[in-house]
């Protein structure tokens, strides 16, 4: 009888007992994802507010000699200032990434994936906020970058969160860990 109920779709006692244990675990992972995203977003937002208020239109601040300095730069393009004419497209891409992460959150049962996606979400939100609310206008705003290592592009903390989240996703993928918590060996 239990086999017939399972085929028809009626839950049996074992399915009902397993569901409550999985549900809170999934909710915790979602809470971690959004918690990491909020922290990454707020740190990025506050750092950019400080940079705009204290560093923009001033000389760069050397942190480690000429190896690392803080320098306020407005970047209308993507990484390394590439594609400055495509700001609207970058805005749409960031918004799409945010929607995909939020939709994926429902199937999330892996803590490392929750952290990685939280970093991506927080970083995407940070740069999207700049694109929407900063000059020259809505969906055309320039991102505030300020971390300037010698011989490298100027970036911000949202960019750092995105890169760290991306690196973690690559590592998790190579290790065979899926967002739903399953592990597969190829």
Active site residue ranges: 145, 159
Sign of CA dihedral 109, 113, 118, 124: negative
- For the chain, the three-class secondary structure string (H helix, E strand, C coil) is CHHHHHHHCCCCHHHHHHHHHHHHHHHHHHHHHHHHHHHHHHHHHHHHHHHHHHHCCCCCEEEECCCEEEEEEEECCCHHHCCHHHHHHHHHHHHHHHHHHHHHHHHCCCHHHHHHHHHHHHHHHHHHHHHHHCCCCCCCCCEEEEEEECCCCCECHHHHHHHHHHHHHHHHHHCCECCCCCECCC
Cα radius of gyration rounded to whole Å, the chain: 21
Q: What tokens does 121 get?
A: 């979400």
């Amino acid at each position: 009888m239990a086999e017939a109920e399972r085929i028809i779709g009626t839950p049996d006692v074992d399915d009902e007992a397993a569901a409550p244990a999985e549900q809170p675990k999934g909710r915790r992972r979602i809470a971690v994802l959004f918690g990491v995203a909020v922290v990454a977003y707020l740190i990025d937002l506050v750092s950019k507010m400080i940079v705009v208020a204290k560093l923009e239109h001033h000389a760069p601040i050397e942190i480690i000699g000429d190896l690392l300095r803080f320098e306020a730069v407005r970047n209308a393009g993507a990484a390394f200032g590439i594609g400055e004419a495509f700001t609207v497209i970058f805005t749409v891409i960031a918004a799409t990434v945010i929607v995909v992460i939020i939709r994926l959150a429902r199937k999330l049962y892996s803590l490392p994936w929750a952290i990685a996606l939280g970093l991506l979400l927080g970083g995407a939100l940070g740069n999207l906020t700049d694109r929407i609310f900063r000059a020259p206008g809505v969906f055309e705003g320039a991102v505030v970058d300020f971390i300037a290592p010698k011989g490298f592009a100027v970036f911000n903390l949202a960019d750092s969160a995105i890169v760290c989240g991306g690196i973690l996703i690559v590592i998790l993928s190579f290790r065979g860990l899926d967002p739903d918590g399953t592990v597969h060996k190829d």
